[in-house]
Amino acid sequence: MLEADGDGDGIFESMIGDTVPPGTPMRVRVDGRPFAGLVEVRANGATIVADELLAPGGEIRFTAPDAAGWVRATLWEPEGLEARVAACDPLVASSTTYCRNHVTTLALTSAIYLAA
C-alpha cells in the first residue's frame, strides 16, 4: 500500500488516486505477506527509494518530491539480483535484461498525485 499524510496530522489518510501537496510525508507498507520484499519508489520518472527491504508488518517512510507530479511503488521478490549479475556478466555481459533487472514483481501501486 502506498499512503500519504496529505494534511500533515501524522495520520496516513491519503491513498492511490488521491492528490496531496508536494513534500508530503509518505509510506509504503504491505499486509498479509509473511516474507520480506524489496521496495522501489518512483516519482516523476526518478527512483527515490531503491531496493529497500520491507519486513513483514513493517513500513518504509519517505517524503514526496517538492515538485508537482506523481509517486508510485513496486514490491519485488528478493531474488538474488547481485548474484545473478555476477554470474551473467562473464557469459553475456549486458546483452540481456534478465541479468540486470528484477524479474519477480509482487505488487505495483497506482499513483498518488502531487499538486499544490
Q: Tens digit of pLDDT for each residue in 73-97? A: 999 887 766 776 777 777 776 677 6
Q: What is the dihedral of CA 101, 66, 115, 52, to 10 degrees?
A: 30
- pLDDT over 80 at 70, yes or no: yes
32 dihedral zone (left: phi>0; alpha: psi -120 to 50; beta) = left
Supply the CATH number for residue 95's domain: 2.60.40
What is the number of structural domains in the chain? 1
The grid cell for 59 is: 513500513
List the domain range (segments joined by +) for residue 10.
2-114
- Report the predicted TM-score, pTM, of the whole model to 2 decimal places: 0.83
Strands 19-20 and 112-114: parallel
Residue with more model confidence, 83 or 9? 9
Q: Tens digit of pLDDT for each residue in 37-58? A: 999 999 999 999 998 999 999 9
